[in-house]
Structure 1
Amino acid sequence: MKRNVPLFIGCTVFLALFILTIAGVITNLTFNLFSVSLVPAQQIVTEVIVLLFWLGLNHFYLRQRVSWRFSFRRWYLVLPVIVVLLGDATLKPHFTFDWAHILWALGLGLAIGVVEEYVFRGLLVNYLATEFRLGAGLTATLSALTFAVVHIANLSDGDLINTVAQVLAACGIGFFFAVIYLITKNLWLPIIGHTLIDSFDQLAFGTLSNTAGTSLVTSSVYAVFFVLLGVYLLRKNRLQPGLRHVTEHQPSFGPHYSNRRLWIDPWKTVLVCLIPPLELLIVPLAIKLVHGQLGRVIIMDLVFLLGFCGALWLYGSVLKADWPRFKRHWLRNSLWAIGGVFVSYAILAAVRLVLKPLAVGSGPDVLSIQPALVSFAASLTVLLAPFTEEIIFRHALFYQWKQRGILTWLMFILSAVLFGLVHWNNFDGNIIAMVPYMAVGAWYALIYYWSHNIWQNIMTHFLFDFIQFLGAVLVLVVTLLQG
C-alpha cells in the first residue's frame, strides 16, 4: 500500500493548486459582477471556498477525523514562531497600525492558517499515518515537503530567489507544525502559529507575496531551526508509527464503493484533467512556429487530435460500456439529443440576454473573417470536442463523483465553470463571455446525470457543434463553386 504514497502526494499537490486557482477565478468573477474591489475580502472569500471544497472532499471521500479539539495544554509549542516574527522584522518592514489593517490582517491570516493547516497537517498527516501507517518522522517530512512544493507556484511572481526562500521556510515550518499536530492532536496550535506569521507579514509588508518579506538567509535559518526543533520533539515524545485509527472505513483509493458509486481512478482523473490546460498552453506557442493561417490551423487541429486520443486512451472503456445501451434505442436517444440541442441554444440566448447590460458578445464570427478553407480546417476540431470534453468535464469531473452527497454537486458546479473557462481563447480571456457556456456545461451535466449514458451527452454536444462545421462546409462549397 505504501507504493501509493507518491500518487497520493501528487494528487494532493495538484488539487491544492487547482482548487485555489478555480476558487480565485470564481471570487474575481463574483466581485467583478458586483463591481466590488476589496482585495483582502477577495482573498478571504477565496480561502473560504477552498476550505469548503476540502471539507466536502474529506466528508465524502477521505473520511479523516481531523481533531479540532482546542486545549491550552502545551500552548508553549507555538512560541518558537517568534523566531519568524523577529527574523521578518529585520527585512525592512513598513508597518501600518490602524484598526482596519489589523482586522484585515488577522482575518486573512486566520483564513489562510485554517485552510493550509487543515489540508497539510489535518488531512495529509492523518491520512499518511492512519491509511499508509507511516512513522511520525516520515509523516511530518512528507507533510513539510508537500507544503513546500505547493509554494513553488509563487514562481509566477517572477522572483526565483524569493521563491526558493519561501519554499525553504515553508518546508521547515511545515515540518514543525506537523510535529506539533502529531504530538498534541490539536490542530488549533499550528493554526495559531500560522495565523501569527501571516498576520504579522501582512501588517509588515502589506502583502503575503513572495516578493516581500522573504530572504534566503532568514529562510535558511528558519528551515534549519524548525527542522532541528521538530526532530528533538519527535525523539523526546517517541511517537509510534501510525496514529490511532480514528475512523473505521475502507481505503479511499480502490474499488471499494457500493454499486451506487463509481470507482474513481485518481491517476486517470489527474491525467485527463491536464489535457485542456495543456491544449490552452501549447496551441498559442505552437502556432507561432508556423507562418500562414492554414498552417496554424492545422497545427491547432493536431494538438486537439492528441488531446482527443489521450482522452480516449484513458476513458475509452466508458464509451465502450455505454454504447450498447445507447444503440439499443438509437432513434429515441437521437431525438432526445436533438431536443437537447434546442435547449442548449435557448440557454445560451437566455444567459446572454441577462448579461447583455455587461456588453457580452457571442464571440468572434470565425466564418466571416477567415478564408473558407481556413474556416473549414478550424471547424474540424468541433468533431473531436464532443468526445474529449464530455469525457473530461462530464465524466471525470462530474459523473464519476455521483452518489457522494454535497461533493457531487460541488463537482457539478466545478465541471460547469471549467467547461466555460476552457473556451478562454475563443473569447480572448473575457470571463463574462464564457458564463453562457458555463450554463450549457451545467445542462450537459444534467443530461448525463439523468440518462446515465455518456453517449447521450456526446450526441447532444456533437449536434450542437456540428452546426458550426456544417456552416464551414457550406461556405467552402459556395467558395469553390464561385471560383
Structure 2
Amino acid sequence: MAYLAFYLLVGRLISSIFAGQIDKDDIVGSASSILLGMALPIAIGGVALFIVTVRLGMLGRIFGPQPIRGRGWMWIGPALVVAAIIAHVTGTEWSSWTGGQIAAMFVLGACVGVVEELATRGLVIQILRDARHSEKFVAVVSSLVFALMHTVNLLSGMELSTVAATVVYTFGFGMCMYLTMRVTGTIWAAIVLHALTDPTTFLSSGGVDTAVGTSSSSGAIAALVTVLLVVFGLVAAFFVRGKVREPQHTFAA
C-alpha cells in the first residue's frame, strides 16, 4: 500500500511538471508521453522499492537462486505467456506506431517487469516464505496482491468492468509468473517475460485500456491464449505444492 501511495503521488507530481509533454487523452500518443507519463513514475517508485529491499537485506535472496524448484507441469505457465507474446507481436500493426513510440513502449515494459516483479514475486513472496507459509499460500497471496495492485486504475478513470477484468487476468498472469520463477529457479525469467508482455499487449491492442482485437487470426489466437492463461492460472492455484523447510539466511546487499 505504501508503494502504491508513493507511486500515485509521484505520478501526480510528474504530470504537473511535464503537463505539456503528457497527453492525458492519449497517453500512448507520443514517445515522450509514454516515457514521462507512464515509465518515469514506475521507475522512480522502483528506485524507492530497491532501497527498501536493500535495507531489509533481501536483495541477495530475491535475485539469487530460488530455494524451492518446480514440477514439470508448471512449465505450462511460462509457455502460455510466451505464446501470448508471440501472438501479440505477429498481430501488431507496426506501421501504425512510430519508432519512438515502440522504443518507449519497451522501456516502459522493462520498468514494469523489474518493479512489479520485485514488489510481488520478490518482496511479497520473500516475506511470506520467511513467515513459514506453504507455497500454495505464497503463490495465491502474492498473485492476489499483484492483481489488487491494478485496482488503482479506477483512480485514472478506467471503467469498473475493465478493472474487474484486469484483476482476474492479472491474478492468472501472476500465477504464471510465480510458476515461471519456480521452474527456472530465478526471478529474472519472470522479469523478462513480464517486461515483454506489457509492451507487446499495448502495441497489439493499440492502447493501454483497450482489449486485443480479434479481427485477425493473430488477434483471435492472442485472445484465446489469454483466456487459457487465466484459466490455467486459476486452476494451478489448487495444485501448487511445497514449502521452504528451513528459514532462509539473510544476505546483506
Q: Quick check: TM above 0.5?
A: yes
1:31 maps to what in 2?
18
2:78–2:179 CA contact under 8 A, matched in 1: no
Change (3 A) 1:106 1:24: same
Q: Secondary structure of the residue that 1:16 maps to in structure 2?
A: helix
Q: 1:64 aligns with which of 35, 58, 68?
A: 58
Q: In 2, distance between residues paired with 1:223 and 1:134?
A: 24
Aligned residue identity for 1:175: M
1:126–1:243 CA contact under 8 A, matched in 2: no
Larger RCO: 1 or 2 (CA < 8 Å, sep 6+)? 2
Q: In 1, distance between residues paired with 2:245 and 2:188?
A: 21
2:121 maps to what in 1?
121
1:114–1:191 CA contact under 8 A, matched in 2: yes
1:135–1:242 CA contact under 8 A, matched in 2: no
1:186 maps to what in 2?
186
Could you say what the CA RMSD is over the residues aligned between the two structures, in angstroms? 3.3
1:144 maps to what in 2?
143
Q: In 2, distance between residues paired with 1:161 and 1:221?
A: 20
Change (3 A) 1:243 1:194: farther
Residues 191-227 of structure 1: per-residue CA shift (max 9 Å, x gap): 1111121010121234323x44499x86654321234
1:168–1:220 CA contact under 8 A, matched in 2: no
1:203 maps to what in 2?
203
1:259 maps to what in 2?
none
TM-score, length basis structure 1: 0.41
Change (3 A) 1:28 1:225: same
> Which runs of 5 or more residues in structure 1 are unaligned?
1-13, 250-483
TM-score, length basis structure 2: 0.73
1:48 maps to what in 2?
43
Change (3 A) 1:169 1:88: farther
Aligned residue identity for 2:135: A
Change (3 A) 1:205 1:142: same
Q: In 1, distance between residues paired with 2:9 and 2:246?
A: 33
Q: In 2, distance between residues paired with 1:204 and 1:158?
A: 19
Residues 343-374 of structure 1: per-residue CA shift (max 9 Å, x gap): xxxxxxxxxxxxxxxxxxxxxxxxxxxxxxxx
Q: 1:245 aligns with which of 245, 248, 252?
A: 248
Q: In 2, distance between residues paired with 1:151 and 1:17?
A: 10
Identical aligned residues as a percent? 21
1:44–1:108 CA contact under 8 A, matched in 2: yes
TM-fit CA distance, 1:240: 2.4
Q: Secondary structure of the residue that 2:17 maps to in structure 1?
A: helix
Aligned residue identity for 1:177: M
2:80–2:229 CA contact under 8 A, matched in 1: no
TM-fit CA distance, 1:26: 2.6
Aligned residue identity for 1:82: V
Q: In 2, distance between residues paired with 1:40 and 1:19?
A: 19
TM-fit CA distance, 1:147: 0.9
Aligned residue identity for 1:101: Q
Q: In 2, distance between residues paired with 1:243 and 1:120?
A: 21
Aligned residue identity for 2:116: E
Q: In 2, distance between residues paired with 1:164 and 1:44?
A: 23
Q: In 2, distance between residues paired with 1:244 and 1:191?
A: 25
Q: In 1, distance between residues paired with 2:231 and 2:127?
A: 26
